[in-house]
Amino acid sequence: MADLLIVDDDRELCALLQRYLEGEQFAVTVTHDGEAALQQMRRHAPDLVLLDVMMPGMDGFETLRRIRQSGDVPVLMLTARGEDIDRIVGLELGADDYLPKPFNHRELLARIRAILRRGGAGSEESPVLEAGGIRLQPGAQQVTQHGQVVELTNTEFELLRELLVHAGQLVSRDALSRVALGRRLQPHDRALDMHMSNLRRKLGPDAAGNPVIRTVRGRGFLLEKV
């Protein structure tokens, strides 16, 4: 199956990941810094790189830049928080996806498979998401609704992205919080609701006057596919 290269200075985490991913039938190589990663890649080109952002020495961004100079292998960034996501995923650096730490291993697996599935050769722009008259271009960090540009903040963008990825499907509050806010949902944390509120205000109701994003009380939200 596919060759993965993990780059992370946390050796314990690497070992854990390696064991888990090997159990999933991947061939896994591990390095603990950017230099070693680049060397390893010269020896053998992996199908996908899992790259930590926070590393001593050459950090994830710099490593990614160097990786990009020599090829277009798909890269999945492991980030500490929700911030900097645009720079990571955007064209500027050209990562294929990111996953905020801490993440669930099943989630990681899903993303790895998604990346491998969609490109093989990578280098393609992440796919445009579209549903209910809303069009989201991940690379351009831009959203249009019926052709009109909608200005969103990063958090709103991530929220909408997650809802679009699962258009028509329920997305739990916790999942949204983790993806957009980079943390698990705490009791009494109303930040998610505020972002949701702002997002809805910017999107406005659909043709029938209903909100585009449906609330499922006690469970989460979902974007109507229409």
Q: Which residues bind DNA (CB under 7 A)?
A: 83, 153-156, 173, 181, 188-191, 193-197, 200-201, 215-219
# binding residues, its own copies (CB under 8 A): 46
Q: Residue 68 has which token pair?
A: 């990009």
Distance between CA atoms of 150 and 206, rounded to whole angstroms? 14
Closer by beta carbon to its own copies, 39 or else 104: 104
Site string for its own copies, 119-138 (x = CB under 8 A): x-----x-------------
> 195 and 155 in contact (C-beta within 8 Å)?
yes
Would you count residue 20 as binding its own copies (CB under 8 A)? yes
Report the C-alpha dihedral over residues 114, 115, 120, 123, rounded to 10 degrees: 140
**Minimum Å distance from CB 103 to its own copies?**
6
Most distant CA pair in the chain, distance:
58
**Minimum Å distance from CB 219 to DNA?**
6
The angle, 0 to 180 degrees and rounded to 10, between the axes of the packed helices 60-70 and 34-43 is 20
Q: What is the CA radius of gyration of the chain?
A: 18
What DSSP element (H or E) covers 52? strand 48-52
**Minimum Å distance from CB 219 to its own copies?**
7
Binding partner at 193 among its own copies, DNA, none, C-beta below 5 to 8 Å by kind: DNA
> 34 and 57 in contact (C-beta within 8 Å)?
yes
Would you count residue 145 as binding its own copies (CB under 8 A)? no
Q: Dump strand ranges (E) for 87-209.
A: 97-100, 129-131, 134-137, 142-145, 148-150, 171-172
**Of 11, 44, 105, 190, the one binding its own copies by CB under 8 A:** 105
In DSSP notation, 109-126 reads HHHHHHHHHHHSS--SPP
> 34 and 9 in contact (C-beta within 8 Å)?
no
Site string for its own copies, 62-91 (x = CB under 8 A): ------xx-xx------------xxx-xxx
Say which amino acid occupies 166: H
Would you count residue 34 as binding its own copies (CB under 8 A)? no
Would you count residue 57 as binding its own copies (CB under 8 A)? no
Closer by beta carbon to DNA, 8 or else 156: 156
Residues of this chain that bind its own copies (CB under 8 A): 10, 12-13, 16-17, 19-20, 23, 68-69, 71-72, 85-87, 89-92, 94, 96, 101-106, 108, 118-119, 125, 139-141, 153-154, 168-170, 183-184, 216-219, 222
